[in-house]
Each structure stands twice: as C-alpha cells, then as structure tokens.
Amino acid sequence: MRTPTTPYLRVDLDRLRRNVRRAADHAKTNRFALRPHAKTHKTPEIARLQLASGAVGLTVATLGEAEVFLRHGCYDFFIAYPVHVDERAAERLRDLAERARVAIGIDSVDGAARAGRLLAPYGVEVVVEVDSGQHRTGCQPEQAGQVALAATRAGLTVRGVFSFPGHGYSPEGAVAAAADEARALATARDAVRAAGLEVEVVSGGSTPTFAHADLGVVTELRPGVYVFGDAQQWELGAARPEDIALTCRATVVSHAGGRVVLDSGAKAIGADRAPYNTGHGRLLERPDARIVLLSEHHAVVDVGDGPLPPVGSRLDVVPNHCCTAVNLTDELWVEEHGLLRPWEVAARGRNG
Amino acid sequence: MRTPTTPYLRVDLDRLRRNVRRAADHAKTNRFALRPHAKTHKTPEIARLQLASGAVGLTVATLGEAEVFLRHGCYDFFIAYPVHVDERAAERLRDLAERARVAIGIDSVDGAARAGRLLAPYGVEVVVEVDSGQHRTGCQPEQAGQVALAATRAGLTVRGVFSFPGHGYSPEGAVAAAADEARALATARDAVRAAGLEVEVVSGGSTPTFAHADLGVVTELRPGVYVFGDAQQWELGAARPEDIALTCRATVVSHAGGRVVLDSGAKAIGADRAPYNTGHGRLLERPDARIVLLSEHHAVVDVGDGPLPPVGSRLDVVPNHCCTAVNLTDELWVEEHGLLRPWEVAARGRNG
C-alpha cells in the first residue's frame, strides 16, 4: 500500500463530514440554496459529499475546474467569475452546456454584449456580479439592471445577481461585510427587476460571512473554505481549531538556533499571509505556536514555552489558507479510523 | 497542436539560454563550480541546458526532486537540506546512490550520527550546513568540525561545508550577506580541517549574492532563480527586466472600479510577498504598474497613467518569486521564434 512522506496534506474525514453536514443543515433549516465553492478542495470525492448532502450544484472559479468536475459526474456549475468570453472560451462553454447546467458571471455591459454574441445559442446563463465592498470585480449595484438588460438583449438568460464579500476577511469585519453584501445584492436585485427582468437567484459568498448572511435577501450562498477551515478562519473566529479538517503533516528536521524547523515550507502550505494572520501558519495541537519564518521547504516555528518537539517527530500544521495549500498537491491523504487513503485533487492547477 | 489558455507561465527561451550561459561563463572564468538549484525550474529540459553549459551537477531541495531528475538522466545531486534520515529516507537515498552521486546536508551532531547509522554502507556523502546569517537551518560555523567529525565517525564521507545566505534577500543586503557567508564558510572550513578532515567543497548559495561571492573562499555556488529572474530579483537589483525569462501571460477580465483586473491570481503566480516587494507582482512592459490586490484568480493592477489595456487584452505578469510560481503548474510554455511548446515541470509538487 502506498503511504505518503512528509510534508503532505491530511484530511480528517470525520471533521470534513461534520463541516459539510453543518452547513447543509443550516441551509435546509433556513431554506436557502447551498452552492459550495469547489475551488477550495478541487476534489471530486468532496464535491460528491457536498452534493449528497443537498448542495444544489457547485460553484467553480474557472472553466477548467468545471470541465474536471463534469468528468467526475457533477452537472450544475456556476463559474463565479467574469469569464472573458472569446471564441475559445465560447467553445468550451458550449461543450460544458451540452452536458451540464452552466452559468457564468458578467460585470459590465460590454462583457454582457460580448458573451451574448458568442454564447446566445448555447443555453449558458449569466449572473450579474456586483461589488459589495471588496472592490475587486463586479459592477456597482445600481448598474446591475443595465448589465442584465444588455445580457438579455444579447440573447442570454439572466439568472440573477451575485457578490463576494471578500472585505469580510478581517477580524470583526464579517458581520459588517454580510450587511454590506445584503444591501448591495438587494439594490442589484431591485435594479434588475426595475429593468423588467426576473431574478431567480440572489447569491452571496464566503465562509466568514456565512453565519451572518441576511437570509431575507440572499437565496443562495457559496462558501468554500468551510469544508476544511484554516488558520485564517481560526484567526477570524470563523472556525474552531477542533473543526479544522485539513493539516499538513510535517517532520521536525532541525533544532538549529534552538528553534523547531519543519519541512512544511511554502511549497507545501502556501505563502498566503493576510494582514490579520499572526504568522505563516499554526500548529493544530499547540495554539501558542507560530510559524515565524517560511521558505520553500522550511517552516521555522516558535513553539513557545516547554521542550522542543524532537527532531524526527511529526506535527500537524494548519495552513493560513486552505485553498492555495490544496492547489499545491495532487493528492489529499484522507484519514478515517486510523487508515490513510489518497483522494485525487483532480482540478489542481486548472487556472484557465 | 495544443495551445495554452491564460493564465499560463511562459518562458522566453532566448533569455533563459542567455541567463544560463552568463552564469556558466562567470563560473568558468573564475574557476568555481556551478551547481544550480533545480527547485527553481523543476524541469528536465532546463537541467539539461545547465548541465550542458558546464554545471557540475544539480542542487535539489528534496529526495523527490532528485528521484525525478534521475529518471530524466541527471546523475549528480546535492540535496541541500538537512534531510531527516529515517528508514524510509535511507532506502530512497540508497536507491538514488546506486545510480547517481548523492550528497545530503547535515546540521547537527545527532543528525550526523543518525545519518551514519542508516546510510554508511551506501556511499551517500554529507555536507555540513552552517548558518551564515539567515537563522534558518545550519549549525554555527565553529561547530562544523564537530558535526563533520561525528559524520566521519559514523562512517560517512564529508564532502565539505555549505550555507544559504538568505538574509541577502533585501535591498542593498546582498553584498553584506555574501561577505557574511564567506566568513561563515571560511570559519567552518577551517574548523573541519582542524578536526583533521579534508574539505573538498565550500559551497555558497543564492542568486542575489552570486555576483558578490568571495571566490577566494567558495569553490561552488548554487544559484537557482538566475535562470528566470522574477520581481524579487528585479526589485533587489539582481535582475534587469530585460533578462526576465519567465512571465505569466494573463488576460484582462474586468475594468471594475476603473482598474485592470487580470486572471493571473495567486494560484497562477504565487502569493509570495517579501517585505521589500512593492506589490504582488509586476508587469514586464509597464515598470510603473503594480498588482495591488491578489486573490486566487484575480490580480487587480494599478497601471499608472494612461488608458487601461482593454478587456480581453493579454499582459505579461512577472511573479514575485519564480520558484513558487513554477511549482503551481505542470507545464511551462516555452517560446522560441514565436512558437510555443510545453515543457513538463516534472518535479512539481515533489516536496518530500
């Protein structure tokens, strides 16, 4: 039987199942649709768990992710991204739409017109992206009617409106960001209706804002990270350490300078570090420890008081950001009842 | 013929060859051995260019990288890392050493003794790592004699001493770090000799310090990044933009908020950001532009004055750190005379 060598990403299947179920129950109880973002895990087995628990379909970030999940038996995709629809993208979307329900994001009148020219015959729906405060992509909420109208006039079906409240990734910021998102989405929804169009879906994002979403406004939520949790969610208060289902199993390789050096470098856990992160990663069993220096194959850890874990011992590192950590590996090693088996990260690297 | 979709990593082959040749010429002229670090490219074709230009062998970071390059016809590896030698690692090193010349790093008396117990019969050499100022791994230079002696007593052959002057990754820091490294390596070399042992190799690291290395002390250098260059080297003054051989070809997907948003997110270019970096990445043809916000699939760019590049246009992004960017993709798209062909990043993800 194949076994992994450190550093490798390890999934606690009980915790993963619990995280999936908890979000699904919340959606069921509160009668909103859950469309989890599969960019977090990129793993067909996890998508199946989500769909089996009642998710209405998958959110993905790229055409390539949708193509991979289609090959693994998923049939409803929202590509929550302002896909630039050139001829090649149109062909790929046509192929997807022949076998699955597919929607893409649009965030401008020009983009809507272009998408319509190339996609109108294929049954690809569009969802208007609005900026709810992150200032990344998305039109202003008031413009959503014009964008939707341009799409309709270009022959496309508008499914509704969506946003990603990424500015909720800050301590104490999630509640306010969820409120911002509700306001933006309500404005956008009303603008689309004022343009004479139906709004089937009002879709919100994000794990930190998930518990705070205004369920009077949103009809669908697209959290991703909730399946695993990570040091960002831990430090934001959106995940408890006992819920974190993904760690990097690492080996202590050196005690140089009286510190612990692990083999879980940036090529294993990712280099993401948000302003609110207290280090480059955490240790699951030592809440006081911090990764204070991270290079490609070294994580230097300040473990706080007490003796150093011996060279050769194994520790579980919590990456700052699970989505980018998972995208570094072709396999997740899934632990259940003490046994490890590999799950393929089939959509790894599918950026386009 | 297969063609890539954005975002994808693109190599300018003329520039790559020029970078390889320039370092090789510098080594030849100054009579030191070049053992380039293959963790940067993880690509057999590039290793072959380096070896064909006179490199004495490859530096790698992991056993897995050595195994991949061995399958692709490379036969001399220095694993510049304090490999934790357990029984499994020992088996893998034995298999490598049956077909290649192999050395590993050691940085403690205990590590030397353990490596000797498991590796003594296999002809794996060791090189003593010393800390020259980065404070990551490596023993103190004065301890190198004890570590080397412990290795010898455990039945291993000590090849010499090495260091990585990673603290030279700061503006104006490279000259001082090269001098620190020379002092540390000279002290370590003398300590090993004082213990009665030969020192065949005194090996230094790093692209920023490459031009400043004290060639009266070092006999071997292990730069990695020099083959490509990246925004870090550009901002450190160690690479000129016209020498940068690796970019991420990206598409403008949105003008939301009056800014350019590219599809080259952190999953394509990496999330590395050193304190001296002026942004999350640069644009090759627009030195004033900066990536001001980076998420997994979005790079928001402040392009400075002038009109915005149109939605749908293509731009070349210079990642902050080429090593981690390359580790995100299974293929590099290599351009020569206007034609693109894929090179396999065969050692991608080989962290263990």
Which of A293, A302, A251, A291 is closest to B135 using CA atoms? A293
Q: Of B136, B300, B321, which has the smallest distance from its Cβ to A300's Cβ?
A: B136
CB–CB contact B131 A268 (8 Å): no
Average pLDDT over residues B229-256: 96
Going from the C-alpha of B331 to that of each of A177, A278, B342, the distances in angstroms are 38, 34, 6
Q: Which residue of B has its CA nearest to A257?
A: B135
pLDDT for B242: 97
Strand, coil or helix: what is A336? strand
Helix axes of A174-194 and A144-153: crossing angle, nearest 10 degrees: 50
Q: Which residue of A has its CA nearest to B293?
A: A136
d(CA A103, CA A90): 12
pLDDT for A148: 98
| Gap from A233 CA to chain B (nearest CA, Å) | 16
Q: Of A256, A297, A329, which has the smallest distance from its Cβ to B107's Cβ?
A: A256
Percentage, residues of chain A above pLDDT 90? 96
Residues from chain A that touch B272, judged by Cβ atoms under 8 A, are 266, 271
Which of B269, B244, B238 is closest to B168 using CA atoms? B238
pLDDT for B304: 86
pLDDT for A273: 95
CB–CB contact A267 B88 (8 Å): no
Q: Of B257, B321, B349, which has the smallest distance from its Cβ to A330's Cβ?
A: B349
pLDDT for B320: 98
| Gap from A110 CA to chain B (nearest CA, Å) | 9
Residues from chain B that touch A64, judged by Cβ atoms under 8 A, are 5
Residue A304 has pLDDT above 90, yes or no: no
* Coarse DSSP helix, strand, coil percentages of chain A, rounded to the nearest 5 percent: 35, 25, 40
Q: Of B81, B268, B300, which has the smallest distance from its Cβ to A351's Cβ?
A: B268
**pLDDT tens readout for residues B134-167:** 999 999 999 999 999 999 999 999 999 999 999 9
pLDDT for A64: 98
**pLDDT tens readout for residues A13-37:** 999 999 999 999 999 999 999 999 9
Strand A101-106 with A76-79, pairing: parallel
- Boundaries of CATH 3.20.20.10 in chain A? 14-228
CB–CB contact A135 B257 (8 Å): yes
Q: Which residue of B has its CA nearest to A313?
A: B84
Residue B172 has pLDDT above 80, yes or no: yes
pLDDT for A171: 83
Task: With beta carbons less than 8 A apart as the criterion, state whether A129 and A163 touch.
Answer: yes
Residues from chain A that touch B321, judged by Cβ atoms under 8 A, are 271
CB–CB contact A268 B351 (8 Å): yes
Average pLDDT over residues B309-324: 98
Average pLDDT over residues B23-32: 97
Class for the domain spanning B32-223: alpha beta
Residue B302 has pLDDT above 80, yes or no: yes
pLDDT for A281: 97
**pLDDT tens readout for residues A136-150:** 999 999 999 999 999
Superfamily of domain A232-344: D-serine dehydratase-like domain (2.40.37.20)
Tokens of A266: 């940036």
d(CA A170, CA A14): 28
CB–CB contact A327 B267 (8 Å): yes
Element (H, E) at B345: none
Which of A93, A21, A71, A11 is closest to A50 using CA atoms? A21
| Gap from A266 CA to chain B (nearest CA, Å) | 8
Confidence bin at A110 (pLDDT 50/70/90)? very high
Average pLDDT over residues A127-134: 96
CB–CB contact A295 B108 (8 Å): no
Residues from chain A that touch B267, judged by Cβ atoms under 8 A, are 323-324, 327, 349, 351
Confidence bin at A41 (pLDDT 50/70/90)? very high
HSE-up of residue B267 (Cα within 13 Å, Cβ side): 28
pLDDT for B305: 85
- Boundaries of CATH 3.20.20.10 in chain B? 32-223
Average pLDDT over residues B70-97: 98
Which of A231, A230, A217, A300 is closest to A263 using CA atoms? A300
Residues from chain A that touch B253, judged by Cβ atoms under 8 A, are 81-84, 137
**pLDDT tens readout for residues A148-170:** 999 999 999 999 999 999 998 98
CB–CB contact A137 B298 (8 Å): yes
pLDDT for B34: 98
- Boundaries of CATH 2.40.37.20 in chain A? 232-344
pLDDT for B170: 86
Q: Of A111, A256, A323, which has the smallest distance from its Cβ to B137's Cβ?
A: A256
pLDDT for A255: 97
Tokens of B245: 């051989």
Residues from chain A that touch B255, judged by Cβ atoms under 8 A, are 108
pLDDT for A167: 92
Q: Which residue of B has its CA nearest to A324?
A: B267
Long-range contacts, B276-280 (Cβ 8 Å, 24+): B276/B169, B276/B170, B276/B171, B276/B232, B276/B235, B276/B236, B277/B231, B277/B232, B277/B235, B277/B320, B278/B235, B279/B231, B280/B320
CATH topology of domain A14-228: TIM Barrel (3.20.20)
Confidence bin at B31 (pLDDT 50/70/90)? very high
CB–CB contact B136 A107 (8 Å): no
Q: Of A255, A256, A296, which has the smallest distance from its Cβ to B323's Cβ?
A: A296
Residue B268 has pLDDT above 80, yes or no: yes
Q: Which residue of B has its CA nearest to A265?
A: B351
Strand B299-302 with B290-294, pairing: antiparallel
Residue A172 has pLDDT above 90, yes or no: no
Average pLDDT over residues B210-214: 93
Residues from chain B that touch A297, judged by Cβ atoms under 8 A, are 39, 61-62, 81, 351
HSE-up of residue A337 (Cα within 13 Å, Cβ side): 0
Confidence bin at A193 (pLDDT 50/70/90)? very high
Mean pLDDT score across all residues of chain B: 97
Q: Which of B137, B162, B232, B249 to mutate to test the interface with A (most CBs of A within 10 A)?
A: B137
Residue B188 has pLDDT above 90, yes or no: yes
pLDDT for A219: 98
pLDDT for B306: 84
Strand, coil or helix: what is A243? helix
Task: With beta carbons less than 8 A apart as the criterion, state whether B187 and B142 touch.
Answer: yes
Mean pLDDT score across all residues of chain A: 97
